[in-house]
A and B are shown apart, each in its own frame.
Chain A
């Protein structure tokens, strides 16, 4: 007698969100990326197929970062000093899309220049982050949004303190936003409500529930993502957005990845450990529902993409 497998039947689904616009769509991207559309918990393809695979973004910066791990500096080399070159190398490393992080040293002019040079160097869809200080974010992201009208960039990172200006410029210039809240289902919902209340359609929002690295609070993000995804499937419209998380940023901040000397012997080889830290953080988050993971090291990108390929083949 064949076993009857219990299947969950959910009333809701995750919205589809498309990043980037091709020439035909008013932008210049060689291709677009669509995420979301799920009707099941992650990869349970015996209930329904996963319509869009999760994707991997590589984070690059407008200026050579001084505080990144030596290991990252070694793999990206000279390219780190030039955003366009870095973008090309990231595309070669298998990125599905790019994140360009602007810095506090940037001016509106240098920011626009960096974004344009990346758009010219690579046909991948692009996410642009401000440096993370509300005023500076506004100062840089508004001119960037205006100079790239119609590209369907993702602008970030919107938090409750600084979402207004970013959302307004995304609205005016045909872009999307990344909405970040600190690991809390209700805070995610609230920010999404505030943003949609400003008139930005929900299919132009990516939800960033915040994450921690392996060993540094990752499990909180993991469970919040599972809960957000369940809420979405149960039909709660303000959680029905694809999720973006930053395991690369978090893992490379952790001592395990950042530091090679003066650490316990039991931590083993530095490079191998750093890659495990980033990869395993990312894999765990993909298992709990991430649609976009932002990574830093090419080897992690390779491993995570292989894993995604396997999760998509039922």
Chain B
């Protein structure tokens, strides 16, 4: 937990020597508490104080970064509920392969290439888990590495893992997993290879005990597997761990959590387990079954849950060109809420129809929300049409309104003298048909 200025002051030399650039140790302590200066500016802090200050400054949930050609971060969260601030590091989505699987490289390459676009953002999976089972583990890790640059989770026992680690040296993978029977060997491996280490226990007591022991071996980056047989059990443990870290500043469990929804046994249940894990605090989610439709749904869920509630995703207001419109193409009006913009833009673009899309500044709200809030009215639309000089782009002075705000057309005719105001369909899906039939 962060220390107050007074608490920090007690750890400083209290000699007011001014070398830090501040008149008193107290003044320096206040700046430190506000995180406006670095402790290193005081040459006289004792080693003991340094240690205590570093501990207090550490985030309650440790940031763990897995690295290869790309990086995945988990941890550093500060709230239990997203409305209290926001959730920061989206859980990494991994897909598991086993050394005994046939044609690992091809399988991984397909999944590695998967990308899906959601409101202008491209999403993909974050990495792969490779499990040492009966097959040749080193060969499997090499095959995976040949097909992806993304970080790895290596699953196996202390005897099997070194071969895999050799095959991806220089990276920071996650080793899975240390338990009460093998923790010493696993900790040695993680320390030697500078890998992060997953820790598995059947109770939180056992987990806390293990992480403390492992830490004495020099391993700092840990990830917790909470076990749990049902969704209910997992939810409770995940909540307890997050609370212990955030509310009690309980360091032994201040680590990100890893979830294995595949343990549910069948893919339909796996999807539900994964959804819970994403909503309820997982830092890493390892899937056993990959399908594009599931990946898409989970990636969107993750984006939704991790969107900052204070900042709706927006696009820049302006006139957007869709399919290289000429001066004969129609002009459509919408708001600058990303979901709204892309619902319309994707529909028109997908149908291959050229159009000018006038995106008004509606404070990032959807059509009806903005209308209800007074951010998408005749005045604002008229202002956008004039400001973006739409008249210079089109031959026909005509704009199409979303069907949901048909009520605005009368007033708009007054605001935009000389313009024809047309009311389009309510849903964007019906736009292409409308454009073909009604806009000629």
Q: Give bound CA distance, A222 to B301, whole Å.
A: 11
* A73 located at the interface, meaning its Cβ lies under 8 Å from any Cβ of chain B in the complex: no
- In the bound complex, residues from chain A placing their C-beta under 8 Å from that of B294 are 268, 272, 276
Q: Which of A3, A226, A269, A277 has the most CB of B within 10 A?
A: A3
Stretch of A95-103, A116-124, A213-221 on the interface side: A213-221
Which residue of chain B is the closest to A42 with respect to CB atoms? B235
Chain A, interface SS category: helix
* A227 located at the interface, meaning its Cβ lies under 8 Å from any Cβ of chain B in the complex: yes
Q: Please tell me if the beta carbons of A43 and B232 are within 8 angstroms of each other in the complex.
A: yes
| B 331-373 contacts with A by CB, 8 A | 339, 343, 350, 366, 369, 372
* A307 located at the interface, meaning its Cβ lies under 8 Å from any Cβ of chain B in the complex: yes
Q: Give bound CA distance, A306 to B204, whole Å.
A: 26
Q: Please tell me if the beta carbons of A314 and B232 are within 8 angstroms of each other in the complex.
A: yes
Contact (A269, B293) CB under 8 Å given A5-B240, A306-B272 = yes
Cβ proximity bits A237-266 to B, threshold 8 Å, 1 near / 0 not: 000000000000000010110110010111
Stretch of B88-96, B135-143, B241-249 on the interface side: B241-249
Chain A count of residues within 8 A CB distance of the other chain: 54
* A136 located at the interface, meaning its Cβ lies under 8 Å from any Cβ of chain B in the complex: no
Contact (A223, B231) CB under 8 Å given A266-B115, A287-B279 = no
Q: Give bound CA distance, A287 to B429, whole Å.
A: 31
Q: Please tell me if the beta carbons of A280 and B275 are within 8 angstroms of each other in the complex.
A: yes
Q: Please tell me if the beta carbons of B296 and A273 are within 8 angstroms of each other in the complex.
A: yes
User: What's the minimum C-beta distance from A190 to chain B, rounded to whole angstroms?
Assistant: 15
Q: Give bound CA distance, A54 to B315, whole Å.
A: 38
Contact (A283, B275) CB under 8 Å given A223-B309, A266-B292 = yes
Q: How many A-B residue pairs have CB under 8 A?
A: 148
* B297 located at the interface, meaning its Cβ lies under 8 Å from any Cβ of chain A in the complex: yes
- In the bound complex, residues from chain B placing their C-beta under 8 Å from that of A223 are 81-83, 309
Chain B's interface size range is 35 or more
Which residue of chain A is the closest to B429 with respect to CB atoms? A255
Which residue of chain A is the closest to B80 with respect to CB atoms? A41
- In the bound complex, residues from chain A placing their C-beta under 8 Å from that of B243 are 5-6
User: What's the minimum C-beta distance from A252 to chain B, rounded to whole angstroms?
Assistant: 13
Q: Please tell me if the beta carbons of B291 and A268 are within 8 angstroms of each other in the complex.
A: yes
Give the residue of B81, B114, B235, B271 whose beta carbon is less than 8 angstroms from that of A43: B235
Q: Please tell me if the beta carbons of A6 and B248 are within 8 angstroms of each other in the complex.
A: yes
* A44 located at the interface, meaning its Cβ lies under 8 Å from any Cβ of chain B in the complex: yes
User: What's the minimum C-beta distance from B295 to chain A, rounded to whole angstroms?
Assistant: 8
User: What's the minimum C-beta distance from A213 to chain B, rounded to whole angstroms?
Assistant: 10
Q: Give bound CA distance, A265 to B350, whole Å.
A: 13
- In the bound complex, residues from chain B placing their C-beta under 8 Å from that of A43 are 232, 235-236
Q: Please tell me if the beta carbons of B293 and A267 are within 8 angstroms of each other in the complex.
A: yes
New A-B contacts (9) at CB < 8 Å, excluding given A46-B236, A287-B276: A6-B244, A214-B297, A217-B339, A222-B82, A264-B116, A267-B292, A272-B293, A311-B235, A312-B232
17 A-B contacts (beta carbon < 8 Å): A217-B339, A219-B305, A219-B307, A223-B83, A227-B83, A255-B429, A266-B114, A266-B292, A272-B291, A280-B275, A280-B297, A283-B276, A284-B279, A287-B235, A287-B276, A311-B235, A312-B232
Q: Nearest 6 pairs between A and B by C-beta?
A: A268-B293, A268-B292, A273-B293, A266-B116, A310-B231, A276-B297
